[in-house]
Structures are given as structure tokens and as C-alpha cells.
Amino acid sequence: MNTQPFSAGLSENAVMITRVADRQWHALDDDLVVGRGHAAHRPDGRLFVSIDAWHDTTFDRLAEAMLAQLPAPLHTVVDEADVELTAAWRRAGFTVRRREWEYVVPTDPRVTGLHDVLPPSGVTIVPAGAADERLLRAVDRAIREEVEATVGWQSMPAEVIALPDGDTIVDPSKYAVAATPDRYLGLIRVVTAIRPRIGLIAVRAGEQRRGIGRALLAHALGTLHRSGFTAAWAEVHESNRAASTLFDGVGARPASSNLELVR
């Protein structure tokens, strides 16, 4: 841990930046904390940074100190509506890598129109927690390879990027799947830790346009509705027209947009 102060600026009242822990910084003005910076690795291995400061000058000095001491590349996520914060990260040399729309998705089948949606003939929906882990990992790998060979996995939600060791299924119990007797054709992941989030919905390329994705969504939203949840949230990359169309078709509405920036 480096607790030596980092002086950023030449004025008599220069804010002092101190690294108070391995990945934590404080901005001090006469021993008063006027800003904080933090860095943390996401499960996929990428390093994300955040800064909380009242004044632009303090933000810039925290950013200067952190960027001097952290390895590149660095990432951060901001609400696109927060123009000032976005501008601050741009001043620090960050550029937009991706934009995701956050959708609020109703769960009531009377609203979504999914009350009578069934998977195509020969396909069944296996609920979360009941999937065969071997087949689940196989369909996940197949879908990832198909996406990577076309639009690239960077078009998928940020939190489903592969972990450093290549593992892509963190918790098999979160996945429901569309199945035939010998293999899985698609999957959907829902996490309900704080509020229900649809982290991923995907179908193998050769099985698309058969209604499998819609059936998976109907199953997931119906399960949430029966559990007492009135809405779920989902992030969709701005270039993913198929996902946007799917959610628009069930009455979902875009609530906000997030920018991932990288330096």
C-alpha cells in the first residue's frame, strides 16, 4: 500500500492525492476528504475505475494520480445522461467503447402478450436450476463462438464476457434453457439478487427465427411474475437490433443508457 501523498497542481492550496489502500485514493484539502477514487477488477478480469468528487479540479487530480499508478487498459461506466461526469472522463483520455440501453421489462403476461407463447414442436424449456451442466456449457460455448465469428462478443452485455480462465458459466443455477432430447438450443440467465436482471438471452444461429428466444423470455418473465416481481431489467447493446426488437415486442421501455468508456 502506498500512503505517500501525490501533489497534483502547483497552487498554494493544491489538493493532495493520497493512495490510502491498494486501489483507493483520497483527495485531501487541509485534511478534509473532498474526493475519492476507487479501482476494482470485474469478474472478467477488466479493471474498472470510479471517482466521486464535487469539483472538476479535484476529479482531474484524482484521475491524474490514479492513471499514473494503474495499468492500462482502464474502464469505467457512466449514465449517459450524466453529461458532466462523461466530460470529466473524456478529459482524462477515456473514449466511448460501447453503449447499452437499459430496458424495464414488465412481467405480467397480460401486458407482455406472452401468456400463450410456447416453444416450437420438439423443444422444451428446462427451468433454472434443472439444466444439465455439461449441455449448458456446450451450448454457451457454441453460441459464443457463433457470435464471435460474426458481430463479436463485445456486442453482448458487458457482464457476460468470459472470465480470465475461459470459464463463462459462473452459476449454472441462474440459467433456463431451450432443449431437445440430445442438446440445448438456447439459454436465458436471470439474476434476482437486488432486482431481477436478464443478463443474457441467446439462441444458436441455426435455430433462430423459430420463436425459441421469445419462449425463453416468456418462461423467465412468467416465473418472475409468479414470484411477485412486476418488472425486470435488461441491458441491450445499441447495435443488437434483434434483442431490441424482442424486448420492444413485449412492452419493454428503455429507461436509460449507459456508456462504457476505456483508456
- Could you give the percent of the chain with pLDDT greater than 90? 71
Residue 51 lies in a domain: yes
How far apart CA 142 and CA 29 sit, in angstroms, is: 54
pLDDT beyond 60 at 112: yes
Can you tell me the mean pLDDT for 22-43? 90
Mean per-residue pLDDT over the chain, rounded: 88
How far apart CA 234 and CA 132 sit, in angstroms, is: 25
Does one domain contain both 81 and 152?
no
Query: Residue 4: pLDDT band by 50, 70, 90 thresholds?
Result: very low
Residue 136 lies in a domain: yes
Can you tell me the mean pLDDT for 105-130? 96
Non-local (6+) Cβ contacts of 164 within 8 A are: 44, 45
Query: Residue 34: pLDDT band by 50, 70, 90 thresholds?
Result: very high
Give the helix ranges, DSSP H, for the chain: 56-69, 83-91, 109-112, 133-148, 212-226, 241-248
Residue 262 lies in a domain: no
How far apart CA 258 and CA 100 sit, in angstroms, is: 5
Q: What was the pLDDT predicted at 153? A: 59
CATH code at position 73: 3.40.630.30
**Grid coordinates belonging to 140:** 454457451
Does one domain contain both 90 and 192?
no
What is the DSSP track for 127-186?
PTT-S-HHHHHHHHHHHHHHHHTTT-GGGS-GGGSPPTTS---S-GGGEEEEE-SS-EEE
Query: Residue 173: pLDDT band by 50, 70, 90 thresholds?
Result: very high
Does one domain contain both 112 and 234?
yes
- Side-chain-side CA neighbours of 104 within 13 Å: the count stands at 7
Cβ-count burial of 72 within 10 angstroms (0-12 exposed, 13-18 middle, 19+ buried)? exposed
Which range (28-32, 100-104, 201-205, 256-260) has the least confidence?
28-32
Quickly tell me which residue has 452459476 as its cell: 171
Residue 263 lies in a domain: no
Can you tell me the mean pLDDT for 41-56? 87
Does one domain contain both 170 and 194?
yes
Does one domain contain both 149 and 166?
yes
Does one domain contain both 126 and 239?
yes
Domain end call among 98, 130, 148: 98
Residue 139 lies in a domain: yes
Instruction: Give the residue numbers spanning the domain of 151.
Output: 101-257
pLDDT beyond 60 at 11: no
Does one domain contain both 149 and 232?
yes
Top pLDDT among 106 and 154 is at: 106
pLDDT beyond 90 at 151: no
**Grid coordinates belonging to 27:** 483527495
Q: What was the pLDDT predicted at 47? A: 92
- Give the orientation angle of helix 212-226 with respect to helix 241-248, to 10 degrees: 50
**Contact (CB, 8 A) for 117 and 255:** no
Does one domain contain both 129 and 51?
no
Does one domain contain both 11 and 140?
no
Does one domain contain both 209 and 120?
yes
Does one domain contain both 127 and 90?
no
**Grid coordinates belonging to 234:** 435488461
Query: Residue 13: pLDDT band by 50, 70, 90 thresholds?
Result: low
pLDDT beyond 60 at 160: no
For the chain, the domain total comes to: 2
Contacts 24+ apart (CB under 8 A), 11-17: 15/57, 15/58, 15/61, 17/61, 17/62, 17/64, 17/65
